[in-house]
Amino acid sequence: DSGVTQTPKHLITATGQRVTLRCSPRSGDLSVYWYQQSLDQGLQFLIQYYNGEERAKGNILERFSAQQFPDLHSELNLSSLELGDSALYFCASSVADSTDTQYFGPGTRLTVL
């Protein structure tokens, strides 16, 4: 158990819908990272937040957004969902920056029908 929790574990929804994925980092970790893992793209970095502020941005679509709250939990919002958004979404946390070990959560499997 990494100490990072993600909910829900599975999510099935339809095209055009909007979903919210939630992540609670390890106690004491200030940075939260979101990744997408799909069959054809591997593990793709989406975005990082550090202590409530956006720190780094990867290949995140404009339909996707994230935030980190004062209690340091984070949410990833995916809107206008397409079939191609079906993937595993992982959250990771680290103490501070990306040279600190990132601990990954168990992931949320999103299926868009």
Partner 1 sequence: GESVGLHLPTLSVQEGDNSIINCAYSNSASDYFIWYKQESGKGPQFIIDIRSNMDKRQGQRVTVLLNKTVKHLSLQIAATQPGDSAVYFCAEREGEDDKIIFGKGTRLHILP
Residues that bind partner 1 (CB under 8 A): 2, 4, 33, 35, 37-40, 42-45, 48, 55-56, 58, 88, 90, 92, 97-99, 101-107, 109
Scanning the chain, the segments in alpha helix (DSSP H) are: none
Name the minimum Å distance from CB 71 to partner 1: 22
18/57 with CB nearer partner 1: 57
Which string of b and e fits 3-29 if b means at least 16 CB within 10 Å?
A: ebebeeeebebeeeeebebebbbbeeb
Handedness of CA 68, 74, 80, 85 (dihedral sign): positive
Nearest distance from C-beta of residue 44 to partner 1, angstroms: 7
Q: How far is the CB of 36 from partner 1 (least distance, A)?
A: 10
Please state, in angstroms and rounded to a whole number, the distance separating the CA atoms of residues 101 and 93.
8
Of the pair 17, 101, the CB lying nearest partner 1 is at 101
CB of 45 to partner 1, least distance (A): 6
